[in-house]
């Protein structure tokens, strides 16, 4: 019997790391296959309404009409339902179609406009898929397709059939015709009441899809794979392609290129006994504003071989500049984006990229890397704190993806207020602190601003950071008071600690906290 399932995605994954993780969880693939997928579209709601009304007028059979309007009913807003009720003479839409014998009001333009608006939040299609010797027809439905999806918004109704030719014949006899064909690699696992699948489609990075009948089972599988709830994406494959700047339906026949064929072949032949992909150490420097984090971090990268630097500010500053300077958004606008859960939509439009610039990673927006003088100045210092406070932890998943990709090649030094909110396996976390007056003097000298103004600005910034939770008490491997230290002296002390505690022990890092202290 067909079952309704829910599904989520984890994007831009390392496929071999996922396969190794599943092995560590005690699960081997149930199968590895190249899949052939044919997509068939349903008629639009407008087309279906017209046919349903014509059928009712001829036969007085309103089952088709009732089924169609009941399906899109959740897409009406409260205001739209009230307006619909007024136009239908006081009857709710579902009551009207169930109780009334005259359906002529549904032909009114105002009612049809409301139905058209609701249908823009609804998507339904048929997928015919061959996986090895198994073939299925799946009816997929998404409600609220123009918003950020939640797990419960996506439903699947899957039915097994004998073979792909039978499926094509059945669907075509029902009046459906394929709109496109795609080929992809799928590696599937049964795990803890869910199905975990690793998908590689042509032209986009691999992703993981997790299906299950309960939200709780799905979230558990996500966490067991080493991800957080913030990493969850509820979206269809069209949207994943759109994130990569590709319209899936520009291709009526989508297949792997030569390089992708090699990757697919490697994954199909991946030995289950293969060694795990090594990830290098994560080292973090946190601290008070103007205590020396950034200056020390930049010097460290030039003196410790292979160490690279990622500043969370280098993630938030270009986003801040783009939103506030180029797009003219206010802090209130950004708060509303977060409040209305439109972050996914925003990030899709930003198209983030990154590159290594002499050991320090920079982030781009829509392919553009900004100049340092645009991003690093007193005004941007303040705006970035404000914007970062607005977003809170909601962008952590995007930061983590960048960090995880970087550390496959090099040990990474993170400069951040709360790096542990993004990465849960930081092996060495150093905190820099200093006297308020000393920090203000440094800031004034660096920015060329009057000390009196700098003191006030720093006081306000300290208050914002404390309120945002940046100064809570956390365990650190080393706390350094830089009040009476020059940058070079602090750098040498931090470098010594990193080399002894992390880099020289990278192949044998213990989970114990040596020299553990707390920021008081």
> What is the topology classification, in CATH, of domain 4-36+129-268?
Hypothetical Protein Pfu-838710-001 (2.40.320)
Burial state string for 469-495 with b = 16 or more CB within 10 A and e = fewer than 16: ebbeeeebbbbbebeebeeeebbbbbb
Strand order in the sheet with 308-311: 352-357, 360-365, 308-311, 412-415, 282-287, 428-433, 478-481
d(CA 306, CA 503): 10
Q: How far apart are CA 347 and CA 355, in angstroms?
A: 18
Angle of helix 312-320 relative to helix 378-391, nearest 10 degrees? 100
Predicted TM-score (pTM) of the model is 0.46
Angle among Cα 382, 293, 291 to the nearest 5 degrees reads 75
Q: Measured between alpha carbons, how far apart are the two ends of the chain, in Å?
A: 60
- What does the alpha-carbon distance between residue 19 and residue 24 come to, in Å, rounded to a whole number? 9
Q: How far apart are CA 221 and CA 210, in angstroms?
A: 8
- CA 487 – CA 497 distance, rounded (Å): 15
The CATH number that domain 282-518 falls under is 3.40.50.300
- Angstrom CA distances, 158 to 12, 222, 466, 477, 491, stand at 26, 23, 51, 52, 60
CA 120 to chain centre: 23
In 436-486, alpha helices (H): 436-447, 451-467
The pLDDT profile of the chain, 520 residues, written as one tens digit per residue, is 344 557 899 999 999 999 999 998 989 998 888 888 888 888 888 888 888 999 999 998 989 999 889 888 888 888 999 999 999 988 889 999 888 888 988 989 999 999 888 888 887 888 898 877 788 998 887 776 444 445 455 677 888 888 888 888 888 888 887 788 888 999 999 998 999 999 999 999 999 999 988 889 999 999 999 999 989 998 888 899 999 899 987 888 888 988 899 899 889 887 644 444 557 888 999 888 889 888 898 888 888 888 899 999 899 999 999 999 999 999 999 998 888 878 888 887 888 888 888 889 999 998 889 988 899 888 998 899 889 888 888 888 889 889 988 888 888 999 887 788 888 778 888 989 999 999 999 888 888 889 988 898 888 888 877 776 666 656 688 889 999 999 999 999 999 888 877 765 554 333 333 333 333 3
133 contacts: CB under 8 Å, gap ≥ 6: none
Q: Where are the domains of the chain?
A: 4-36+129-268, 45-119, 282-518
Nearest to 65 by CA among 78, 56, 76, 74: 56
Query: 417 with 472: CB under 8 angstroms?
Result: no
Tell me the two tokens of residue 201: 């489609």
């Amino acid at each position: 019997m067909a079952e309704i399932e829910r599904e989520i995605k984890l994007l831009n994954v390392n496929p071999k790391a996922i396969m190794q993780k599943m092995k560590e969880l005690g699960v081997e693939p149930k199968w590895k296959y190249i899949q052939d997928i044919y997509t068939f579209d349903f008629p639009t709601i407008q087309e279906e309404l017209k046919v349903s009304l014509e059928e009712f007028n001829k036969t007085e059979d309103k089952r088709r009409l009732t089924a169609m309007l009941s399906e899109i009913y959740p897409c009406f807003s409260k205001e739209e339902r009230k307006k619909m009720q007024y136009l239908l003479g006081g009857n709710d839409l579902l009551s009207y179609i169930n109780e009334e014998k005259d359906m002529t009001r549904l032909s009114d333009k105002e009612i049809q406009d409301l139905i058209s608006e609701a249908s823009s939040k609804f998507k339904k299609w048929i997928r015919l898929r061959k996986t090895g010797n198994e073939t299925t027809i799946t009816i997929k439905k998404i409600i609220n397709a123009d918003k950020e999806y939640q797990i419960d918004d996506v439903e699947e109704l899957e039915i097994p059939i004998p073979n792909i030719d039978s499926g094509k014949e059945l669907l075509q006899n029902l009046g459906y015709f394929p709109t496109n064909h795609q080929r992809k690699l799928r590696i599937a696992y049964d795990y803890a009441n869910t199905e975990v699948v690793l998908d590689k489609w042509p032209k986009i990075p691999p992703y993981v899809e997790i299906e299950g009948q309960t939200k709780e089972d799905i979230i558990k599988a996500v966490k067991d794979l080493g991800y957080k709830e913030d990493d969850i994406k509820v979206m269809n494959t069209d949207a994943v392609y759109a994130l990569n700047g590709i319209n899936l339906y520009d291709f009526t026949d989508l297949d792997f290129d030569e390089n992708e064929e090699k990757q697919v072949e490697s994954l199909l032949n991946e030995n289950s006994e293969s060694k795990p992909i090594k990830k290098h150490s994560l080292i973090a420097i946190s601290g008070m504003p103007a205590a020396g984090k950034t200056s020390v971090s930049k010097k460290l990268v030039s003196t410790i071989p292979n160490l690279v630097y990622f500043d969370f500010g280098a993630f938030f500053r270009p986003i801040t500049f783009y939103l506030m300077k180029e797009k003219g958004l206010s802090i209130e606008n950004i708060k509303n984006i977060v409040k209305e859960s439109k972050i996914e939509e925003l990030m899709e439009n930003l198209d983030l990229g990154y590159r290594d610039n002499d050991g320090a990673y920079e982030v781009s927006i829509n392919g553009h890397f900004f100049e340092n003088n645009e991003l690093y100045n007193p005004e941007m210092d303040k705006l970035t704190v404000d914007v970062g406070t607005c977003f809170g932890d909601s962008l952590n998943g995007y930061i983590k993806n960048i960090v995880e990709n970087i550390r496959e090649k090099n040990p990474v030094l993170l400069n951040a207020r709360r790096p542990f909110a993004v990465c849960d396996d930081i092996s060495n976390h150093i905190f820099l602190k200093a006297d308020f007056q000393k920090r203000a003097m440094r800031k004034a000298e660096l920015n060329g601003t009057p000390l009196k103004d700098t003191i006030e600005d720093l006081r306000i910034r300290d208050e914002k950071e404390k309120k945002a939770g940046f100064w809570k008490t956390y365990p650190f491997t080393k706390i350094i008071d830089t009040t009476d230290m020059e940058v070079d002296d602090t750098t040498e002390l931090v470098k010594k600690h990193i080399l002894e505690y992390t880099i020289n022990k990278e192949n044998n890092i213990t989970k114990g906290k040596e020299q553990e202290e707390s920021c008081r």
